[in-house]
Structure 1
Amino acid sequence: MLTEERRKLIMELLKSHEIVKSQELMKLLDSSESTIRRDLQEMEAEGLLKRIHGGAKRIVKLDYEPDMLEKSSKNVHEKQLIAEYATSFIHDGDFVYLDAGTSTYEMIPFLKQKDINVITNSVYHATALTDLKIPTMIIGGNIKLTTKAVVSAFSLQQLQLFRFDKAFMGINGIHPKHGLTTPDSEEATMKAVALGQAEQVYILADDSKFNKVSFSKVAALDEATIITNQLSKDIRQHFESLTTIKEVIK
C-alpha cells in the first residue's frame, strides 16, 4: 500500500475513533511496525495527529466563528427539523429565551400560534418575532457585528434579572470531554447565565457540531437536553453514555 493511502486511512480512522493503536493499524493496513511508526512520526511532525504510547490520538482543532449569513446556508433541512421538534416542548403561557443563532432562528415560524412571551439577545430574532406579532423583549447592549447578537456586561446584568420556563440555544461544539463550547468568551458567558436562569434548557445542534471544540466552554453536556438530527453510528458511540440527547429521525 502506498504511503498516501495509508495516511488517508489513518486519518479516516482518527475521525471516527479518537485514538488508534499501532497494533490495530499494522493489521488493518497490512504494514510492519517500523512502517506504521514512521508514518505516525511524520504525520505528527505535520501536525496531523499526536503520538501516544502504543498509537496515536486525534488533534482537536478549535473551530472559528462564521458570520450569520455563512451559518444560515449550512444544513438548513436538518436545522428546520430540529427547530420544529424543539417547539413541541413549548406550551402556552411559557416565558421562552431564544439565544442568537441560526438553529434557534428556524424555530420562529413554528411559534406563530403559541401564546408565549419571548426574550432574545438577537436583533435578527427580535425582528422576525415582532413581524409575527409575538410578544418579544430584546436584551440591550452592544451588538456583535458578525452574528447580530447582543453581548456585553450590560446584557449580562439584564439577563440575570429574568427567569425562563425554557431556554433554547445554539452551540458551536459538542465534545464528550470538553462539553459545550463556543468561540466567543462573552457569548459563552451569556449562554451560561441564560442556562442558569431557565427551568429547562435545550441545545439545538445538527450533527456537524459533534466532536467539535471551540475556545470557550459554556457547560457540561449533561446540563442541557441536546436536540439534533439522526447521528451516525460513529458519532453516537462517542456519546452513548449521555442520556440527554434527543435525535429527530425523519
Structure 2
Amino acid sequence: MNFQNRKQLIVQTVDERGSVDVRELAELLQTSEMTVRRDLVQLAASGLLYRTRGGAMKVSLATDQFRFANKTAVNADRKDYICQLAAQDVQEGDILFMDCGSTVFRLCPFIRNKRITVITNSLPVVAELMSSDVTVNLVGGEVDKERQAVHGLMAEEHIARYRANRAFIGVDGISLQHGLSANSEKEASTATAMARQTEKVYLLCDSSKLETDKYLYFAPLSLFDVLITDTEAKPDVVAAYRKAGIRLIN
C-alpha cells in the first residue's frame, strides 16, 4: 500500500476513533510500526492529526485534550454498549462509586430510574442524575475545570468515609504485561481510592484501550473484579485476558 492510500486510511481511522496507537495502525495497514511512525510524522507536519506518545489523535481533541465533551463523544456507541451491560448488575438499593471517566458517565441514562445512591467526583454525572431517582453524593475538594471533576487529597478523604457495593471506574490503558495506566495522576488516585472502598470493582473500558500503555502505570490488574468491554475486542485478546484469570464481559 502506497503512502497516499495509507494516509487516507490513517486520517479516516483517527477521525472515527478520536485517537489510535501505532500498533493498531500497523495491523490495520498491514505494515511495520516504523512505517506507521514515519507516516504519522508527515501527517502531523501537514496538520492532519496530532502526534501522541505511541500514536495519534484528532487535532480537534488535541487542542483541548481533556475537555470532557470531546472525550465523551469518542467511541460513543461502544461506550453505550458497555454501559448497558454494566447497568444489568446494578440492583435496587445499591451504593455505587462512579469516577469521572467518559465511559462511566454514559452509564447515567441506564441507571437513572433505579433507587440507588451514587458517590461521584464527576460534575457531569451529578448534573445528569440530579433529576433522576438516584440519590447523589458529590465528592468534595478542588474542581478541575477542564476535566469537570473533583480531585485531590480532600476528595480522597471524602471517598474513604464511605463504603459501596460496586465501583465503576474508567482507564486510559490496560495491558496484561503492565496493568492499568492513565494520562493523569489525579484520575488514577481517585480510581484507586474508590476501589479500596467497594465490594466489587468494574472496569469500563472500550476495546481501543486493550493492550495499550499510557503515561502513568498506577495499578495491577488485581485492582478490578470485572472488565466490561465491547464486541470490537479482538478474539485473541479476549482469550488471553480470560486465560489470565480476568472476568471479561463483552
Global fold match (TM > 0.5): yes
Partner in structure 2 of residue 36 of structure 1: none
Aligned to 1:205: 205
Go from structure 1 to structure 2 and tell me whether the alpha carbon gap of 1:14 and 1:242 turns closer, same or farther (over 3 Å shift).
farther
Matched, 1:227 2:228: yes
Normalised to the residue count of structure 1, the TM-score between the two structures is 0.73
Report the secondary structure of 1:166's partner residue.
Answer: strand
The number of equivalent residue pairs is 215
The answer as to whether partners of 2:241 and 2:248 remain within 8 angstroms in 1 is no
SS in 2 for 1:90: coil
Aligned match of 1:175: 175
User: Are residues 223 and 191 of structure 1, via their aligned partners in 2, closer, same or farther at CA, if it must alter by over 3 Å?
Assistant: same
CA RMSD of aligned residues (A): 3.5
Residues 81/13 of structure 1: CA separation in 2 closer, same or farther (3 Å cut)? closer
* 1:113 is the counterpart of 2:113: yes
CA distance in 2 between counterparts of 1:104 and 1:221 reads: 18
Q: Which residue of 1 aligns with 2:104?
A: 104
Structure-to-structure mapping, 1:234-249, within 5 angstroms:
234-236=236-238, 238-248=240-250
2:35 maps to 1:61: no
The code of the aligned residue for 1:233 comes to: P
Q: Structure 1 residue 87 and structure 2 residue 80: aligned?
A: no
How far apart are the structure 1 equivalents of 2:190 and 2:227? 18
How many angstroms does 1:120 deviate by?
0.4
Deviation per residue, 1:93-128 (Å, 9 max, x gap)? 111011112211111111123121110000110111
CA pair 15-164 structure 1, distance change in 2 beyond 3 A: farther
* Residues 25-174 of structure 1 mapped to structure 2, 5 A cutoff: 61=54, 66-174=66-174
Note the C-alpha offset of 1:240. Answer: 4.8
**TM-score normalised to structure 2 length:** 0.73
CA distance in structure 2 between the partners assigned to 1:94 and 1:165 by the alignment: 6
Per the TM alignment, residue 146 of structure 1 is displaced from its structure 2 partner at its CA by: 2.1
Give 1:241's aligned amino acid.
K
- The answer for the alignment partner of 1:19 in structure 2 is none
- Determine what percentage of the aligned residue pairs are the same residue: 24
Higher alpha-carbon Rg: 1
Letter matched to residue 171 of structure 2? I
Runs of 4+ in 1 over 6 A off after TM superposition: 11-14
Deviation at 1:14, TM superposition (A): 9.4
User: CA separation of 1:14/1:124 partners in 2, compared to 1, >3 Å: closer, same or farther?
Assistant: closer
Taking the aligned partners of 1:89 and 1:219, their CA distance within structure 2 comes to 24
Distance 1:151 1:70 in 2: 20
Separation of aligned partners in 1, 2:107 and 2:24: 36
Kept in 2, the 8 Å contact 1:94–1:165? The answer is yes
Match of 1:161, SS state, is coil
Q: Which runs of 5+ in 2 are unaligned?
A: 3-21, 41-52, 57-61
